[in-house]
Chains A and B, each alone.
Chain A
Amino acid sequence: MSDGYAGKILTVNLTSGTSRSVETSAELKSHFLGGCGFGAKLLYDTVPAKADPLGPENAVVLTTGPVTGTLLPSSAMTAATTKSPLTGTFFRSVMGGVFGSELKQAGFDALLITGASSAPVYLLIDDGTVEVKPADTLWGADTFATQLRLKEHLGSAEFQVAAIGPAGEKLVRYAAIISGTRALGRGGLGAVLGAKKLKAIAVRGSQTVAVNNPAAVIANGRSLMEKLAANPQSAKAFPTYGSTASPASYSAAGLFGTRNWQTEVFEGAEAISAEANAKLGKHVRTRACSSCVIRSSHIWRAGEGPYAGLYNEGPEYETLWSLGAMCGNSSFDAVLAAERLCDEYGIDTISAGVCIGFGMECFEKGLITARETGGVDLRYGNADAVVRMIHQIGRREGFGDWLAEGTREMARRIGGASADFAMHAKGLEFAGHSARAIKSMAVGYATSNRGGSHQDTRPAPERSGKFGTGFDGKAKLAKECQDMTTIGDASVFCRRLTECGYGSFLNHEIAETLSLVTGQTYTVESLREISERIYAMEKLFNAREGFRREADTLPKRFLTEPIPEGPRQGSVIPPEELTRMLDEYYELRGWDKATSLPTRQTLNRLGLGLYAPAAA
């Protein structure tokens, strides 16, 4: 079949060490498109209700989509889904690199990992051959060493390896899976693999990604490249320094969460931004994921001082924000060092920085003392403490053992008023985009099926100024962003590609691309239906876990403490405004306002009627 799909879904059971593959059904393709859509459906059907996220019943689904492995720009993506050990919800995470292309070329649209091994193993997929192999000698190794050692052992650098590091092994609740330098970063996918004793997945494939109309896909890719070349962001800003340039402008605009969102202006924003550090000769070179012309990834090296000689790909905006501003840390080199450690241990930099920043506020307020922190002076601005805490998180040593649990559980242990400023939604730490200043992010964060993620509703449309700064119309804006990001993660396209090449909302251009690749006739309307179906499927997963409307909320700080200074001073999300936006949002989705769950009518419309009892 020349429809963009590899045609098979591989299931590996780590308890029995066996695998089998089935054909990717026409219905799955037409109803769920690919990527996170396949992931949502397979996860719901595989993982029983109330399964322990770190038990053998949980699954990790690594997926590709119809565009993965093609010549279309920024299409070499991997999407993963699981039940998150950090949130207890459905989770999806997406990474670039080239792992997805390799999996697709090995012949698989999806790899469904179930069960758990009793001893460390790695999974070897070499075209159609699948084997579960011992990994005792790799256990304990960092993610970079694991990849290099496996490639050497397998005798070919053609293998792409996705690995967990010590943090995944130690079940850090926001441990990541790393491939190359890219991360399935958020939500603790690395911990789920760690619990399964699956150290790594090595995959190599030689099969063609056959598409419906190759000549038209090539032409479509060319015109996308021309669009990207005409967009100042993708043509100039990203290739120059990537999002590393952004902290300064975010802070200047007054929406740069600082010291655990106590303010949104950071005095160190310039110091951690690209310009200042490029001037000091720290920019090394520019990289791209497979098939990408945006090339927003950059290698930076530390200057003179304690981190001299150290380099890493990154840090990008979110990491500068979390390990920088959230911790009051204005040392770019310390952020770089902490980020490199996060990549090696296999840790999500966003959650790590937010947890440390939260710990710092608790420390400064006297809710915890040097006794809890193991003698570390956990004050804002202590750059060395940030780096030290990453080691402790990765090893679950000392206070790191608390930090490794995430802000929600930390607040439970610390007690007092700490829960009021534990900055997460459904247990997932917010990313560096202001819920108070950007109202669509407030409703987006509250309704995201994975918690405080900036990858469902996106900040860019409202930040552009086109939609005003008030509350009106923001529920619709949030939902329409989600419609697009869901299709992006199902295709699977990089977010930077969809935003710079297609725009923030579903449109005919992306429908045309998907039609040329698959041979199906997609329209904005049919894509919206698929998107709503996928989002409802994720929501049903959460419904089955017991999540209802009460869970769709924000921490007290965002609801009661206005931004104290700067251009967005006074911005806050009064509870009644959040309620109003949520009501509007559920209505737009055809979800019940009382419970937040999809109505029977909506499920029927989306062809999910079978699942209606779960939402009752």
Chain B
Amino acid sequence: MTGLSLDHQKCTGCELCSLACSTRFEPRGFNRRMSAIRLRVVGIMDADVPVTCMQCEDAPCAAACPEGAFYWVPSTGALAIDAEKCTQCGNCIPACPYGTIYLHQDRPVPIKCDLCDGNPLCVSYCVPGAITLSPVATWPEQLRTDYFQVLKATGGSGK
């Protein structure tokens, strides 16, 4: 199972990941609120934390979907949403423990990271190298512990 590795210690908070990601959902231009990866800042300057879907094996979002619209894409290992099946009930959004599924008024389907067909745009725009394509299980232990701690501090740990 693959996913994105997020090193908040390398992140500068530039949001180019968000801006680039939004071009996959918005053909007309750029929109940080129409993006599957977003920046959370701790305090005024204490940490810049990029957050996106962890592609959980036992995904709570998929479990919360009454339509069974979530499916695994074999080629990328990403958990995706089938637009045909999605009824926009919104159950998946609070179900995500990291708060990384989003609704936008101009989109028919919730916005969630699907790893861009295996070659994520955010990775290619991340100049400081904070985002890499590798599963959460392979993160260095310390990074993982720290990361989820800051995630919690920014109010994104759900329950």
Contact = CB atoms under 8 A, between A and B. Distances in A.
A94 B155 CA distance: 31
Interchain residue pairs A-B with the least CB separation, the first 3: A288-B12, A288-B14, A210-B28
B16 A207 contact: no
Interface in A151-208: 157-158, 180-181, 205-208
A255 B108 CA distance: 59
A210 B29 contact: yes
B104 A206 contact: yes
Interface of B: 9, 12-16, 19-20, 22-23, 26-34, 40-41, 43-45, 48, 104-106, 127-128, 154-155
A292 B17 CA distance: 11
Contacts of A206: 31, 33-34, 104-105
Label chain A's interface by main secondary structure.
loop
Contacts of A293: 14, 16, 127
A208 B29 contact: yes
22 contacts: A69-B30, A69-B32, A70-B19, A105-B31, A105-B33, A157-B40, A180-B44, A181-B44, A181-B45, A206-B33, A206-B105, A208-B28, A209-B30, A210-B29, A286-B12, A290-B14, A292-B12, A292-B14, A293-B14, A293-B16, A295-B12, A295-B128
A180 B45 contact: yes
B55 to A, nearest CB: 24
A104 B97 CA distance: 30
A71 interface: yes
Given A214-B23, A290-B14, 11 more contacts: A69-B30, A98-B15, A105-B31, A148-B43, A157-B155, A205-B33, A208-B28, A208-B29, A210-B29, A211-B28, A295-B14
Nearest to A290: B15
A292 B128 CA distance: 11
Contact of B127 (A71, A148, A295): A295
Contacts of B16: 71, 73, 291, 293
Interface of A: 2, 69-71, 73, 76, 98, 101, 105, 144, 147-148, 157-158, 180-181, 205-211, 214, 217-218, 225, 285-293, 295, 299, 312-313
A539 B13 CA distance: 38
Contacts of A218: 23
A210 B45 CA distance: 30
Contacts of B48: 287
Contacts of A69: 30, 32
Given A157-B154, A210-B29, A71 B20 contact: yes
Nearest to B23: A218
Contacts, number: 96
A289 B41 CA distance: 12
A208 B30 contact: yes
Contacts of B33: 105, 158, 205-206
B14 A147 contact: no
Contact of B12 (A157, A211, A287, A312): A287
A70 B30 contact: yes
Contacts of B19: 70-71, 290-291
A295 B28 CA distance: 27
A230 to B, nearest CB: 13
Contacts of B106: 208
Contact of A208 (B26, B43, B154): B26
Contacts of B22: 208
Given A157-B40, A157-B41, A289 B9 contact: no
A588 to B, nearest CB: 38
A58 B48 CA distance: 37
Contacts of B104: 206
Nearest to B34: A208
- Chain B CB within 10 A, most for which of A205, A207, A208, A286: A208
By CB atoms of chain B within 10 A, which of A181, A217, A285 has the most?
A285
A220 B41 CA distance: 29
B15 A148 contact: no
